[in-house]
A and B are shown apart, each in its own frame.
Chain A
Amino acid sequence: MGGELTRMTAAGIAASVAAGDVSAVEVTRAHLDRIEAVDAGLHAFLHVAADGALRAARAVDERRAAGQPLGPLAGVPVALKDVFTTTDMPTTCGSRILAGWRPPYDATVTKRLRRAGLVILGKTNMDEFAMGSSTENSAFGPSRNPWDLRRVPGGSSGGSAAAVAAFEAPLGVGTDTGGSIRQPGAVCGIVGVKPTYGGSSRYGVVAFASSLDTPGPLARTVLDAALLHEAMSGHDPRDSTSVDAPVPPVVAAARQADVAGLRIGVVTELGGEGYQPGVTARFAEAVELLESLGAKISEVSCPHFSYALPAYYLIAPSECSSNLARFDAMRYGLRVGDDGTRSAEEVMSLTRAAGFGAEVKRRIMLGTYALSSGYYDAYYGKAQQVRTLITRDFDAAFEQVDVLISPATPTTAFPLGERVDDPMAMYLADLCTIPSDLAGNAALSVPCGLAPEDGLPVGLQIMAPVLADDRLYRVAAAVEAALDQRRGHPLLDEATGLDEEAAR
């Protein structure tokens, strides 16, 4: 019974709970059991909140027993990235500097999940302060990919992606700054969505790069992602960049699952040389599939996309160097070297050196460099102009087509350790996802098969204009339905990394 419950979709669980076929407590227990069984090998979670989860589940069951209305995801477990503040669980951002920190308030996303009756199972692992593409930058050790435990689950939301792909949770929440939802979604074989910037609230999301950070859903099906997208999004007066507009009709679009007549553009600059052959092959098949489903395919050039990566690695570190100045060892978090002789400034420097990992230090210094007088115009200023040009590329493209597509990542999941000492190689994992972060438009990754050379999942990225998030779901649901039908089973049925581990 427990095993079956963890294989269910979020939509299926919610329907069963609402119908009284199963209780939210049973569903939650099944997922806690699954975490207990497999997370030692996977390390998707930094903190499992069994008691709190069961309490939240009981509250859903009681509401149902009392005849009160339940939301569309009531009783569904969810894995929350450890960047969202939670009053009843630690919030560490994968950093030693915040080890054990108990925030005094809930993030808006946390609050909305609770209010919708979702059951938060715990907090998931991530690259420190969301800087990275593999979870190897977590101070608490990396997570692993359920397809092959020797490989990374992507990042920075790798813990949430691994948890969902390994059936520890039907839903996960992440944040996307340069691809941190779509890239782990792609390499774990699940759906990952970066909503339009400002579509989901940043209040209570520990800031990395404020003009880019966007919370969004991870799920095993497109419909589940849409249901979570709807539950977690919407205007928040506590976030001054929150968009005051209705959430796009993402759930209806996921149910529509139809691309007939839709104009789809293949981005010239996001493909070809430098991409793994199996990624290129699966992407080409996805293009053919969309055409066979009635979409009108054309090629669209976005000439400035090739400058997105360098622009991003100026803008994001600049914002990070400013945002992470708050970790000053005075009001919360780690404090090192306060022996009565040292000044506040010395204690601050010792604490930050001890509390931050290598990638965070690199980015703080890079941002400090890019913002320093004499370099500002040549680096940060220029990067902001490139950002404008990338946005204009998108605007021009969306005059010709309804959505753009590309591979979600240049390669499949890479082996643990392969890129740790080569920051530039690590940065390339986000090559395809960064343009939409810079422009703020909506983008999604949906699985489109396995690369023949390594048997690992490949993601198809779909990009839509600002506040046209619903188009992503329309296309992704059509691809998902056609591929599932052709294959005869969901792609994740072929993920055997955990079984291989168990057999060893």
Chain B
Amino acid sequence: MAPARRRPGPQGQWRRPAAAPALKMASMSITREQVAHLATLSRLALSAEELDRFAGQLDVIIAAVARVQEVAADGIPPTTHAVPLTNVFREDVIVPPLGADAALDQAPAAERGRFRVPRILAED
């Protein structure tokens, strides 16, 4: 017989250990204007509604991740890769390249054997 199931309580009943928003970082909170700037940098044409929603959510997330600043890490070297490797070489073997047809096969638009793209310079 299947064990009885009941809904777990709301999320709030469990502590949120590592992620508990550190509200003392409030001075670092992010504004809607900053989020709009990030969207531009990120090449995301967001709607006004999205900007409102993301501003609130990113504010909470940034406050939570700012906890890394509590750690005493003076003089600790950064880790960029889990298993460090340097100067990785392989034999320089000639292999057939991807042909033009295969490369263009999934292009949103192609013309005369090339990718066709929208204009990249301003009109004036």
**Interface of A toward B, CB cutoff 8 Å:** 101-105, 148, 196-198, 211-212, 237, 240-241, 243, 273-276, 304-311, 313-314, 321, 325, 328-335, 338, 340, 342-350, 352-353, 356, 358, 361-362, 364-366, 368-370, 372, 378-379, 381-389, 391, 410-412, 414-415, 418-419, 422-425, 427-428, 431, 437-441, 450, 452-456, 466, 494, 496
Indicate if B118 sits at the interface (CB-CB under 8 A).
yes
Residues of B within 8 A of A361 (CB): 42, 44, 46, 50, 54
CB distance from A85 to the nearest CB of B (A): 11
CB distance from A396 to the nearest CB of B (A): 14
Determine if B82 and A345 form an interchain contact, defined as CB atoms under 8 angstroms apart: no
Residues of B within 8 A of A334 (CB): 108
Q: Closest residue of chain A to B91, judged by CB?
A: A237
Indicate if B24 sits at the interface (CB-CB under 8 A).
no
Determine if A365 and B103 form an interchain contact, defined as CB atoms under 8 angstroms apart: no
Determine if A330 and B61 form an interchain contact, defined as CB atoms under 8 angstroms apart: no
Determine if A310 and B19 form an interchain contact, defined as CB atoms under 8 angstroms apart: yes
CB distance from B19 to the nearest CB of A (A): 5
Determine if B76 and A388 form an interchain contact, defined as CB atoms under 8 angstroms apart: yes
Q: Closest residue of chain A to B85, judged by CB?
A: A241
Q: Closest residue of chain A to B98, judged by CB?
A: A104
Tell me the bound Cα distance from A340 to B109 in angstroms: 12
Residues of A within 8 A of B38 (CB): 365, 368-369, 372
Tell me the bound Cα distance from A356 to B35 in angstroms: 17
Indicate if B48 sits at the interface (CB-CB under 8 A).
no
Tell me the bound Cα distance from A418 to B85 in angstroms: 41
Determine if A381 and B43 form an interchain contact, defined as CB atoms under 8 angstroms apart: no
Residues of A within 8 A of B34 (CB): 369
Residues of A within 8 A of B7 (CB): 415, 454
CB distance from A376 to the nearest CB of B (A): 11
Given contacts A383-B68, A425-B11, contact A335 B42 (CB under 8 A): no
- What number of B residues sit within 8 Å (CB to CB) of A? 72
Determine if A439 and B85 form an interchain contact, defined as CB atoms under 8 angstroms apart: no
Tell me the bound Cα distance from A148 to B35 in angstroms: 38
Which of A378, A382, A414 contacts B8, CB < 8 Å?
A: A414
CB distance from A263 to the nearest CB of B (A): 23
Among B5, B11, B18, B40, the one with the most A-chain Cβ atoms within 10 Å of its Cβ is: B18
Determine if A309 and B19 form an interchain contact, defined as CB atoms under 8 angstroms apart: yes
Given contacts A104-B105, A352-B43, A365-B39, contact A274 B14 (CB under 8 A): yes
Given contacts A343-B120, A389-B73, A453-B8, contact A198 B14 (CB under 8 A): no
Selected A-B contacts with CB under 8 Å, 23 pairs: A198-B82, A243-B83, A243-B85, A273-B15, A305-B18, A307-B67, A331-B107, A331-B108, A331-B115, A333-B108, A340-B118, A344-B120, A349-B44, A352-B45, A370-B65, A372-B41, A385-B71, A410-B14, A418-B11, A423-B57, A423-B60, A440-B83, A454-B3
Q: Closest residue of chain B to A375, judged by CB?
A: B28
Residues of B within 8 A of A423 (CB): 57, 60-61
Tell me the bound Cα distance from A414 to B56 in angstroms: 24
Determine if B78 and A365 form an interchain contact, defined as CB atoms under 8 angstroms apart: no
Q: Closest residue of chain B to A271, judged by CB?
A: B17
Determine if A386 and B88 form an interchain contact, defined as CB atoms under 8 angstroms apart: no
Determine if A353 and B65 form an interchain contact, defined as CB atoms under 8 angstroms apart: no
CB distance from B50 to the nearest CB of A (A): 7
Which of B18, B30, B77, B108 contacts A307, CB < 8 Å?
A: B18
Which of B2, B46, B117 contacts A455, CB < 8 Å?
A: B2
Q: Closest residue of chain A to B12, judged by CB?
A: A425
Indicate if B119 sits at the interface (CB-CB under 8 A).
yes
Tell me the bound Cα distance from A329 to B109 in angstroms: 10
